[in-house]
Amino acid sequence: MNDGKMEHSLNATNLADILERVLDKGIVIAGDVTISLVGVELLNIKLRLLIASVDKAMEMGINWWAHDPYLTAGAHTPAGADPAMLERMDRLEAALATALAAKQTAPAKGHSS
């Protein structure tokens, strides 16, 4: 029974070593798929997959996530947004919220009890 547990432990260690090596060195998987009918190319898919750690990718000059507004702190502000327009929108939203709050607290007109 101990032999089975030892094998499992060794296999897990080997898998961890392989994963560490792949992330440290990086691996590229490339492939092309072409679908043709009667000699006419209908679909061509080119697949390029890079698996690496963030550090290795940055070392290779790949850092697209650093400039993607959906993956950085700037995700809440649209790229190229005019600061004056955003300020005006904030003021309008605040004024609308104030008007709605005043309307809800005011007694309804035309109803007598």
Residue 32 lies in a domain: yes
Within a domain: residue 25?
A: yes
The boundaries of the domain holding residue 29 are: 2-62
In a domain, 105, yes or no: no
Q: What is the pLDDT of residues 51-103, one digit of tens each?
A: 888 888 888 888 887 777 777 765 555 556 778 888 899 999 999 999 998 88
Assigned domain for 80 exists: no
Q: Write out pLDDT tens, residues 13-58.
A: 788 888 888 888 888 889 999 999 998 999 999 998 888 888 888 8
Instruction: Reduce the secondary structure of 65-107 to three states and give it as a string.
Output: HHCCCCCCHHHHCCCCCCHHHHHHHHHHHHHHHHHHHHHHHCC
Number of domains in the chain: 1
Q: How confident is the model at residue 111 (pLDDT cuts 50, 70, 90)?
A: low
Residue 46 lies in a domain: yes
Question: Does residue 91 form part of some domain?
Answer: no
